[in-house]
Amino acid sequence: MKKKIFKNTILIILLLVVLCGASIIGVLYNYFNKQYITSLNQAAGYIAEGVDLSGMDFLSQLDEKEKRITWVAADGMVLYDNKADIHTMENHKNRTEIKQAMTSSAGTSVR
């Protein structure tokens, strides 16, 4: 009888540890995801202001290796991309984030 109670207690404790761990991981994932999105939005704002002040030359002066930067015209044509040749890229006007940006001030999409 004592072995059965001990075994059940250990199983309950293990289950609680797993559930707490999963909950903590979920909360941390959401927190850091929001922080990353905020950081990307700030960077996009800085880049947009730099282009407004200095023109498209500002983009070629950036030394960004970690993030992909794509500048898209109102008609969906790619004007700049730091990771790909713009001449081989398709029109972006039908992408979710571009459609959102056309109806509001910004658009996002996770792929």
Q: Which pair of tokens denotes residue 11?
A: 């199983």
Q: Please check the confidence at residue 2 and state whether its pLDDT lies above 80.
A: yes
23-67 per-position pLDDT tens digit = 999 999 999 999 998 998 898 889 989 999 988 889 888 877 778
Beta-ladder partners of 72: 78
Count CB atoms within 10 A of the CB of residue 73.
Answer: 13
- Matching residue, tokens 């991981």: 25
Amino acid (1-letter code) at residue 63: D
Which carries the bigger pLDDT value, residue 109 or residue 83? 83
Q: Please check the confidence at residue 105 and state whether its pLDDT lies above 80.
A: no
* Threshold 0.75, pTM exceeds: no
3-state secondary structure string across the chain: CHHHHHHHHHHHHHHHHHHHHHHHHHHHHHHHHHHHHHHHHHHHHHHHHHHHHHCCHHHHHCCCCCCCCEEECCCCCEEEECCCCHHHCCCCCCCHHHHHHHHCCCCCCCC
Domain ranges of the chain: 1-55, 68-111
